[in-house]
Structure 1
């Protein structure tokens, strides 16, 4: 088995060297990946790690913003049960790092996740030596898992999600996949499909649980009337005008949505659209696109200059605000779904009691899509023409829109508790008192942990 990991290291190094010119270009020209570069290679600053020396530590890892949001609810529950444990939180992306510093208040420190070379991971683990490692969603890294296990850490996949593409990709890992899955102590998956996928890949049935999605339990995105009042004032909006929030868009989507905005604006002249590109560095690109179409826009970072009589498209170029901005929306569209990207988090708007619209490509969020459709709080459209028709209908029928909002709140309430169930599993592996048995969320509740 050791030979397999040597081969994995070599292949990873080859891929890294091939990507290095692109990486250097992005670092030098675009300024990406500069922050935390030493941490990515396992060099952790003394002032960051000294507090973990000799202390029981739980290392929680989430790749980016969405995963950080989902993990935050688990961290809150775990810290409540184990206040004496130190929490180290890691991310891969800069945006994830920014979000973690903003909302994961229980974390004692945040770092960038080390690259999965054995010598890099080994260096980082030797400095932290976690008692428990909690990986989230699809963050399964062979060397990190292997070396953490060799260091006698308990390892758990929390809020586990296996997309169709991930399911196909993991199969190429061959024997290393089998060993990696064997080294994970528990898999807490979001849905029955995720449970079936991870078992099909080779996870032992006795280690796998279906505990639901922790994004139903996130605290920072909960409705906050004072925050909403502040947003109305800062954005220079009034509660009588229709507000369309378009979140997490990608290239080609903003262009497709131009006629939607123009048609809605024709019929509802007071309408304002708040548009949030998935990657905020594209904000100026999106701004240019809309200005070329003759539409007055303003960036969120320049909102104090907004003229309410003219600037009817606000482009969000900040991190961490979108979830709260959904709270002031009348209509919500979630991007990544008009193109073959696979969609984004459609639960965040539902938390605020919003009917959510999305396109045909939601293959990365199948369970969430089924859920909102089953509750009648999501509308999936084939194209922008259908989206325009549906949105116009609900703008003209406010009572039905409010009814959908109440149904959305009910859906959230009916499905909360995943973070607590994940925390119970963390307690289980820390205490090491109970033999792992095949289970589900109900089985865990029956145990009374």
Structure 2
């Protein structure tokens, strides 16, 4: 099966050569990204890890980086001499990692999963252990790590319904890959059941909870909040609506709802953050076509004029903190069939949360928050408008929902420590001293 995978992977990368050449010519920073993926590590990293063996933590993109942040912080507290290298797949994940994981000695792009490249990077970094965040399973990476006797464990493990269907299609191959992983720290009972169905041994699986409940990078003090309100031109206006991680097809619905709110509450303001930040200008233009004055965050040179009702957030790494400004939060990817996005970030700020009907990627978190009256589901654009208007006029309900969010967050903290305790067992088993 590996030779089929490698053959298809080579064909895939050959097909991407025109795109790669174009991006090399016109995309800033892409050369360094490709260089690292091809096994050439930055000199600054090599100097930091010279003569030391690192703990390699691999996270794909922004969501996994958010989960990684508390894990790295806890590793550094429990193992002060540990060297941590974090690898990512996407440019947004790379930028986010630099912002919220300053403790890491190195942040690199993950190698193209070709045998000779993977072997080269493993030889350069010489990790004492590899931690895969959520479900980052790369066949050649795992196979070579096993041959080199590098212990691997999965932390904050999660299997979405979509991933489950894909892995089931290649179940025998998946089982072989999972045999290379020694411990599975899964977020929930369902995730544990899924990974066992796919082939993980029952005695290697532990339910540790979700480390995103332990995130602290998005904390905002009262003084910082006031400064942000003034910077974005929100002042002390009410209501402030934050629509985070929206997708094409959702922005129109959000803007239509906001126009109705603006009619009832002339001082209302909207902060809308498209999931793909390169769509910022498109969303701004969409707002203006709907008769709403708007500005992109990336073009702000000073405080936004208080008469600008819409700010489009088209920058990386700010949304988690800016949820603190909202009176009501809508989290996107849920009115369209994307599966939803992280609702723990607004919950950490004690905000009432609205989502659409498609939350299948976060169903357990949604189920928990909704069961505690902290998160409401709306079926369509009209329901979004009606629910927003209801909450705008009901301060007591907003406060109850916000308090319930904080209570859920408090009750579910501790997953990070449970993950690192399992990691300690891995170290003891292999006589590893970080």
**Normalised TM-score (structure 1):** 0.92
Aligned to 1:361: 358
Would you say the 8 A contact 2:185–2:205 is kept in 1?
yes
CA distance in 2, matches of 1:433, 1:63: 27
**Does structure 1 conserve the Cα–Cα contact (< 8 Å) formed by 2:53 and 2:125?**
no
Per the alignment, residue 103 of structure 2 pairs with: 106
Answer yes or no: is the 8 Å Cα contact 1:223–1:351 preserved in 2: no
Secondary structure at 2:311 match in 1: strand
> 2:283 & 2:176 partners in 1: Cα distance?
45
Q: Identify the residue that residue 136 of structure 2 maps to in structure 1.
A: 139
Instruction: Give the match for residue 194 of structure 1.
Output: 191
One of 258, 261, 266 as aligned partner of 2:255: 258
The superposition leaves residues 98-125 of structure 1 with CA deviations (integer Å, 9 ceiling, x where unpaired) of 1111111210011001111111111110
Please report how far the alpha carbon of residue 303 of structure 1 lies from its aligned counterpart in structure 2 after TM superposition: 2.9
Tell me the equivalent position of 1:377: 374
- Determine if the alignment matches structure 1 residue 337 to structure 2 residue 334: yes
State the partner residue of 1:237: 234
- Aligned match for 1:328, one of 310, 325, 329: 325
CA deviation vs aligned residue, 1:383-440 (integer Å, no higher than 9, x gap): 0100111111111110111111111110100100001111111111012189xxxxxx
CA contact (8 A) 2:231 2:303 kept: no
Q: For residue 241 of structure 2, give the secondary structure of its aligned residue in structure 1.
A: strand
Residue in 2 that maps onto 1:422 = 419
Superposition deviation, residue 263 in structure 1: 0.5
- Tell me the secondary structure at the aligned position of residue 335 of structure 2: coil
CA distance in 2 between partners of 1:433 and 1:304 (Å): 54
Where in structure 1 are there 5+ consecutive unaligned residues?
A: 435-449
Q: CA deviation at 1:14?
A: 1.5
Q: Determine whether 1:166 maps to 2:152.
A: no
Matched-pair contact (CA < 8 Å) for 2:323–2:345: yes
Deviations 1:341-395 (CA, angstroms, capped at 9, x unpaired): 1110011000000111010111111111111111110001110100111111111
1:76-87 matched pairs, under 5 angstroms: 76-87=73-84
Q: Is 1:181 aligned to 2:183, yes or no?
A: no
Does the 8 Å CA contact 1:241/1:271 hold for their aligned counterparts? yes
Question: Matched residues in 1 for 2:260 and 2:24: separation?
Answer: 41
Task: For residue 273 of structure 1, give the secondary structure of its aligned residue in structure 2.
Answer: strand
1:47 maps to: 44
Q: Which residue number corresponds to residue 446 of structure 1?
A: none
User: How far has the Cα of 1:45 moved from its partner?
Assistant: 2.8
Are 2:226 and 1:226 aligned?
no
The question of whether the paired residues in 1 share the 8 Å contact of 2:159 and 2:191 is answered with: yes
For 1:390, the equivalent position in structure 2 comes to 387
Q: Is the 8 A contact 2:171 2:198 kept in 1?
A: no
Of 420-429 and 143-152, the range deviating more from structure 2: 143-152
Contact persistence 1:185–1:207 (CA under 8 A): yes
- Among residues 133, 136, 152, which one is paired with 1:155 in the alignment? 152
Corresponding residue for residue 445 of structure 1: none
Residues 268 and 309, structure 2, Cα contact 8 Å, conserved in 1: yes
Q: CA deviation at 1:53?
A: 2.9
- Secondary structure in structure 1 of the residue aligned to 2:300: helix
**Aligned Cα RMSD in Å?**
1.7
- Alignment of 1:216 with 2:213, yes or no, is yes
Farther-moved stretch of structure 1 (16-25 vs 85-94): 16-25
Indicate conservation of the 8 Å contact 2:237/2:269, yes or no. no
Q: Secondary structure at the match of 2:102?
A: coil
Structural mapping, 1:8-157, within 5 Å: 8-28=5-25, 33-157=30-154
Partner secondary structure for residue 183 of structure 1:
coil
**Partners of 1:18 and 1:216 in 2: CA distance:** 40
For this pair of structures, how many residues does the alignment match?
Answer: 431
Question: Relative to 1, partners in 2 of residues 1:296 and 1:306: Cα closer, same or farther, differing over 3 Å?
Answer: farther
Q: CA deviation at 1:22?
A: 3.9
Alpha-carbon offset, residue 223 of structure 1:
4.0
Unaligned 5+ segments in structure 2 are none
Pick from 318, 327, 343 the counterpart of residue 346 of structure 1: 343
Which of 257, 266, 269 pairs up with 1:269? Answer: 266
